[in-house]
Amino acid sequence: MNSLFSFWLILSVLFSCTWSQHVERKKRVVGGHPLIAGEWPFLVSLHFRPVHPFTNRTKMRHLCTGALIDPLWVLTAGHCFDGNEYSGLNKKSNWVIVLGEHNQYRRESWEQRHRIRKYFQNPQYTARPLLKDLTLIKLKKPATISDKVRPIELDLTGQCTPLGTEVSVAGWGQVAYSPFGYGNFLPLKTTVWVSNKTECVENYSIVPDTDPDKAFYEPEDEGVLCAGAAGVKDACLGDSGGPLICNHDDVLKLTAVVSTGYDCGNSTFPGLYTRVDVSRRWILDTMANN
């Protein structure tokens, strides 16, 4: 995984240089297999309507992934709505929230397209380093619950964060860090494991200071979860905001969201995810008061 928006590589010279790095940081699933339609009914695709270097290459509107956590609420990454990184990301009218999305090139009968009433970026969010990387989206109308569209429970107590816990991630991102702009039209899912925090911090410390991406990484922060695998498995360009899921006592729970990381599928550098339990008070208060 590469920093922030792991999305769009240096090819963004045509756009904002800052955003190109952010987008480069976006994540996409590496080493995964396609989900069956409805297998993860909480998985959400965030479509960005204006021209963007990544969507211009993929010919899809998908820019970020998210998760339905309530009929009215979607959780995604904070940097997906960072207008300082790319013009228009912070305008709610530029987004369409697609529930039940499966094939990006086809509109299925069960899909639900929603507009945003309001969104709330975590007030502690920072882009450099990328921390508290969460945004809550309130939909204009509640989702219609079905076998293809259904909320997921949040892991608000960190039950799924101990070392070695098996977790899964899915999204419509790239299957490799390059070539840039080749997203998946079907969502891919892969399994990773919660990594040793100390080793994660040590490994990220070897990223050269001259690498501009290093500014995004701070794995030692309490809100950052490291997760990876020995093989080529990871989130990668374009999966930002996607849910990291664990099965706790036969109940699927969202424990973190895709944030950033160095390269894709590199076992030396686990993916960096934003824990939801560390921001539980903000999540619960925001939903209750809005």
Q: Which residues are catalytic?
A: 79, 133, 240
DSSP H or E run through 57: helix 53-58
Tokens of 159: 């039950």
User: In what order do the strands lie in the sheet containing 135-139?
Assistant: 112-114, 95-99, 43-48, 62-70, 73-76, 135-139, 116-121
Q: How far is CA 143 from CA 151, 182, 209, 254, in A?
A: 9, 30, 45, 18
The strand pair at 166-171 and 243-248 is best described as antiparallel
Take residue 164 and report the two structure tokens written for it: 């070695």
Tokens representing 287 are 């939903």
Six-digit token pair at 215? 């500014």
Q: Can the peptide bond before residue 53 be classed as cis, meaning omega within 30 degrees of 0?
A: no
DSSP labels, 19-33: HHHHHHT----BS-E
Q: Could you give the CA distance from residue 159 to residue 21 in angstroms, rounded to a whole number?
A: 33
Q: Which residues contact 56 (CB under 8 A, 6 or more apart)?
A: 181
Q: Which of 29, 3, 43 is nearest to 259 (CA)?
A: 3
Which pair of structure tokens corresponds to residue 239? Answer: 């999966």
